[in-house]
Amino acid sequence: MSTLPNNLKKISLFLERLPGIGEKTANRLAFFFLRLPDSDLKDFAASITNLKEKTKFCKNCFNLCESESCDICLDDKRDHSVITVVETVLDLLSFENGDIYQGLYHVLLGKIDPLNHVGPDDLKIEELVSRVKKESNRGGLKEVILATSPDMEGEATAMYVKSQLEKLESYKVKKFKITRLAYGLPIGANLEYADYMTLKKAIEGRNKF
Protein backbone atom coordinates (compact mmCIF):
# COMPACT_ATOMS: atom_id res chain seq x y z
CA MET A 1 0.00 0.00 0.00
CA SER A 2 1.45 3.36 -1.08
CA THR A 3 1.88 6.09 1.54
CA LEU A 4 2.91 9.74 1.35
CA PRO A 5 6.45 10.82 2.29
CA ASN A 6 6.60 12.06 5.90
CA ASN A 7 6.97 15.78 5.05
CA LEU A 8 4.06 15.69 2.63
CA LYS A 9 1.98 13.66 5.07
CA LYS A 10 2.59 16.19 7.87
CA ILE A 11 1.39 19.03 5.63
CA SER A 12 -1.67 17.04 4.57
CA LEU A 13 -2.56 16.20 8.19
CA PHE A 14 -2.22 19.85 9.17
CA LEU A 15 -4.41 21.03 6.28
CA GLU A 16 -7.01 18.45 7.28
CA ARG A 17 -7.41 20.31 10.59
CA LEU A 18 -8.59 23.43 8.75
CA PRO A 19 -12.35 24.18 8.62
CA GLY A 20 -14.13 22.46 5.73
CA ILE A 21 -11.05 20.52 4.59
CA GLY A 22 -11.32 16.73 4.34
CA GLU A 23 -8.61 14.13 3.76
CA LYS A 24 -8.81 14.13 -0.05
CA THR A 25 -8.82 17.92 -0.32
CA ALA A 26 -5.89 18.10 2.11
CA ASN A 27 -3.91 15.67 -0.02
CA ARG A 28 -4.65 17.66 -3.19
CA LEU A 29 -3.54 20.89 -1.53
CA ALA A 30 -0.36 19.26 -0.25
CA PHE A 31 0.52 18.14 -3.78
CA PHE A 32 -0.34 21.63 -5.06
CA PHE A 33 2.23 23.10 -2.64
CA LEU A 34 4.76 20.54 -3.83
CA ARG A 35 4.33 21.72 -7.44
CA LEU A 36 4.68 25.42 -6.60
CA PRO A 37 7.86 27.23 -7.71
CA ASP A 38 10.41 27.52 -4.89
CA SER A 39 10.07 31.31 -4.73
CA ASP A 40 6.28 31.16 -4.30
CA LEU A 41 6.54 28.46 -1.65
CA LYS A 42 9.17 30.43 0.28
CA ASP A 43 7.02 33.58 0.18
CA PHE A 44 4.04 31.58 1.43
CA ALA A 45 6.09 29.96 4.21
CA ALA A 46 7.43 33.38 5.29
CA SER A 47 3.89 34.78 5.45
CA ILE A 48 2.78 31.87 7.65
CA THR A 49 5.86 32.26 9.87
CA ASN A 50 5.25 36.00 10.37
CA LEU A 51 1.47 35.74 10.63
CA LYS A 52 1.11 36.16 14.39
CA GLU A 53 4.16 38.38 14.80
CA LYS A 54 2.99 40.98 12.27
CA THR A 55 -0.78 40.77 12.75
CA LYS A 56 -2.20 42.97 15.51
CA PHE A 57 -5.55 44.20 16.73
CA CYS A 58 -6.40 47.82 16.01
CA LYS A 59 -6.24 49.77 19.27
CA ASN A 60 -9.53 51.52 18.44
CA CYS A 61 -11.86 48.93 16.90
CA PHE A 62 -10.03 45.56 17.20
CA ASN A 63 -9.95 44.99 13.48
CA LEU A 64 -6.85 43.12 12.28
CA CYS A 65 -3.97 45.22 10.99
CA GLU A 66 -0.18 45.48 10.97
CA SER A 67 0.12 48.76 12.87
CA GLU A 68 -1.50 50.37 15.92
CA SER A 69 -4.60 51.52 14.02
CA CYS A 70 -6.32 49.97 11.01
CA ASP A 71 -6.85 51.73 7.68
CA ILE A 72 -10.59 52.11 8.34
CA CYS A 73 -10.09 54.04 11.59
CA LEU A 74 -7.44 56.22 9.97
CA ASP A 75 -9.56 57.03 6.91
CA ASP A 76 -10.79 60.64 7.17
CA LYS A 77 -13.30 59.98 4.39
CA ARG A 78 -15.24 57.50 6.55
CA ASP A 79 -18.26 58.64 8.56
CA HIS A 80 -16.84 58.81 12.09
CA SER A 81 -20.25 59.60 13.57
CA VAL A 82 -21.48 56.00 13.16
CA ILE A 83 -20.04 52.84 14.75
CA THR A 84 -21.26 49.39 13.74
CA VAL A 85 -20.70 46.67 16.34
CA VAL A 86 -19.88 43.25 14.86
CA GLU A 87 -18.87 39.92 16.37
CA THR A 88 -15.84 39.09 14.24
CA VAL A 89 -13.48 40.56 11.67
CA LEU A 90 -15.12 38.28 9.08
CA ASP A 91 -18.42 40.11 9.74
CA LEU A 92 -16.61 43.40 9.18
CA LEU A 93 -15.27 42.11 5.87
CA SER A 94 -18.80 41.21 4.75
CA PHE A 95 -19.81 44.87 5.12
CA GLU A 96 -16.65 46.07 3.37
CA ASN A 97 -16.93 43.63 0.47
CA GLY A 98 -20.41 44.89 -0.30
CA ASP A 99 -19.34 48.55 -0.20
CA ILE A 100 -22.64 49.37 1.51
CA TYR A 101 -21.35 51.11 4.61
CA GLN A 102 -18.93 54.00 5.13
CA GLY A 103 -18.86 54.33 8.92
CA LEU A 104 -16.54 52.85 11.55
CA TYR A 105 -16.63 49.49 13.32
CA HIS A 106 -16.10 47.88 16.69
CA VAL A 107 -15.26 44.17 16.74
CA LEU A 108 -16.35 42.34 19.88
CA LEU A 109 -14.20 39.27 19.04
CA GLY A 110 -17.08 36.91 19.74
CA LYS A 111 -20.53 36.78 21.29
CA ILE A 112 -21.93 35.88 24.69
CA ASP A 113 -22.20 32.10 24.77
CA PRO A 114 -22.54 30.59 28.28
CA LEU A 115 -22.54 27.01 26.98
CA ASN A 116 -19.02 27.59 25.65
CA HIS A 117 -17.97 29.61 28.71
CA VAL A 118 -17.91 32.96 26.89
CA GLY A 119 -19.19 35.82 29.02
CA PRO A 120 -19.32 39.61 28.61
CA ASP A 121 -15.90 40.01 30.21
CA ASP A 122 -14.37 37.85 27.45
CA LEU A 123 -15.49 40.30 24.77
CA LYS A 124 -14.47 43.86 23.89
CA ILE A 125 -17.65 45.35 25.37
CA GLU A 126 -15.99 47.44 28.07
CA GLU A 127 -13.69 48.89 25.42
CA LEU A 128 -16.73 49.74 23.28
CA VAL A 129 -18.45 51.56 26.15
CA SER A 130 -15.29 53.58 26.87
CA ARG A 131 -14.90 54.43 23.20
CA VAL A 132 -18.54 55.47 22.82
CA LYS A 133 -18.34 57.61 25.95
CA LYS A 134 -15.24 59.39 24.66
CA GLU A 135 -16.58 59.92 21.14
CA SER A 136 -19.98 61.04 22.41
CA ASN A 137 -18.45 63.63 24.72
CA ARG A 138 -16.54 64.99 21.75
CA GLY A 139 -19.91 65.50 20.07
CA GLY A 140 -19.06 63.44 17.03
CA LEU A 141 -21.06 60.26 17.65
CA LYS A 142 -24.61 60.02 16.30
CA GLU A 143 -25.39 56.30 16.11
CA VAL A 144 -24.26 52.86 17.26
CA ILE A 145 -25.52 50.01 15.06
CA LEU A 146 -25.70 46.58 16.71
CA ALA A 147 -24.91 44.08 13.95
CA THR A 148 -24.55 40.83 15.88
CA SER A 149 -25.98 37.58 14.50
CA PRO A 150 -29.75 36.99 14.61
CA ASP A 151 -29.35 33.82 16.69
CA MET A 152 -29.93 33.37 20.42
CA GLU A 153 -26.37 34.24 21.40
CA GLY A 154 -26.21 37.21 19.02
CA GLU A 155 -29.49 38.60 20.34
CA ALA A 156 -28.31 38.17 23.94
CA THR A 157 -25.09 39.97 23.08
CA ALA A 158 -26.95 42.85 21.40
CA MET A 159 -29.27 43.23 24.41
CA TYR A 160 -26.34 43.25 26.84
CA VAL A 161 -24.38 45.80 24.79
CA LYS A 162 -27.49 47.98 24.55
CA SER A 163 -27.96 47.88 28.33
CA GLN A 164 -24.35 48.89 28.90
CA LEU A 165 -24.55 51.77 26.43
CA GLU A 166 -27.80 53.01 27.98
CA LYS A 167 -26.03 53.29 31.33
CA LEU A 168 -23.95 56.09 29.83
CA GLU A 169 -26.95 58.38 30.26
CA SER A 170 -26.04 58.66 33.93
CA TYR A 171 -22.69 60.17 32.84
CA LYS A 172 -24.58 62.88 30.95
CA VAL A 173 -22.93 62.04 27.66
CA LYS A 174 -24.34 63.61 24.51
CA LYS A 175 -27.24 61.56 23.15
CA PHE A 176 -26.78 59.07 20.32
CA LYS A 177 -29.04 56.48 18.69
CA ILE A 178 -28.73 52.74 19.34
CA THR A 179 -30.10 50.75 16.40
CA ARG A 180 -30.27 47.08 15.42
CA LEU A 181 -29.94 45.58 11.96
CA ALA A 182 -33.32 44.70 10.42
CA TYR A 183 -33.92 41.00 9.84
CA GLY A 184 -36.61 39.32 7.80
CA LEU A 185 -37.25 37.65 4.47
CA PRO A 186 -34.34 37.44 2.03
CA ILE A 187 -34.89 38.60 -1.56
CA GLY A 188 -36.41 35.79 -3.62
CA ALA A 189 -37.65 33.88 -0.56
CA ASN A 190 -40.95 31.98 -0.56
CA LEU A 191 -43.25 32.66 2.40
CA GLU A 192 -44.23 28.99 2.46
CA TYR A 193 -40.76 28.05 3.72
CA ALA A 194 -40.22 30.93 6.14
CA ASP A 195 -40.00 30.04 9.82
CA TYR A 196 -41.94 31.79 12.59
CA MET A 197 -39.07 34.00 13.83
CA THR A 198 -38.17 35.15 10.31
CA LEU A 199 -41.78 36.18 9.66
CA LYS A 200 -41.96 37.89 13.06
CA LYS A 201 -38.85 39.96 12.29
CA ALA A 202 -40.16 40.75 8.81
CA ILE A 203 -43.42 42.07 10.27
CA GLU A 204 -41.63 44.11 12.94
CA GLY A 205 -39.17 45.60 10.45
CA ARG A 206 -41.66 46.39 7.69
CA ASN A 207 -41.23 49.69 5.81
CA LYS A 208 -43.58 52.04 4.00
CA PHE A 209 -44.18 50.85 0.42
SS (H, E, C) the chain: CCCCCHHHHHHHHHHHCCCCCCHHHHHHHHHHHHHCCHHHHHHHHHHHHCHHHHCEECCCCCCEECCCCCHHHHCCCCEEEEEEEECCHHHHHHHHHHCCCCEEEEECCCCCEHHHCECHHHCCHHHHHHHHHHHHHCCCCCEEEECCCCCHHHHHHHHHHHHHHHHHHHHCCCCCEEEECCCCCCCCCCHHHCCHHHHHHHHHCCCCC
Closest by Cα among 72, 78, 76, 71 to 102:
78
What the chain holds in terms of domains, given with CATH numbers, is 6-54 (1.10.8.420), 70-204 (3.40.1360.10)
Kindly report, residue by residue over 172-199, the tens digit of the pLDDT.
Answer: 778 899 999 888 877 787 778 878 888 8
Q: Which residues pair with 118 in a beta bridge?
A: 113
Q: For the whole prediction, is pTM greater than 0.75?
A: yes
The pLDDT score that the predictor gives to residue 207 is 75
pLDDT of residue 203: 82
Q: Are 27 and 5 in contact (CB under 8 A)?
A: no
pLDDT value, residue 2: 52
Residue-level pLDDT at 190: 78
Residue 188: predicted pLDDT: 80
* pLDDT (0 to 100) of residue 1: 36
Q: Look at residues 174, 191, 102 and name the one whose alpha carbon lies nearest to residue 135.
A: 174
Low-confidence ranges of the chain (pLDDT < 50): 1
Q: Give CA angle at 142 (137, 145), nearest 5°.
A: 120
- The type of residue at 186 is P
| The pLDDT of residue 35 | 95
Distance (Å, whole) CA 5 – CA 95: 43
**pLDDT for the residue numbered 62:** 98
pLDDT single digits (tens) 112-145: 999 999 999 999 999 999 999 999 888 889 999 9
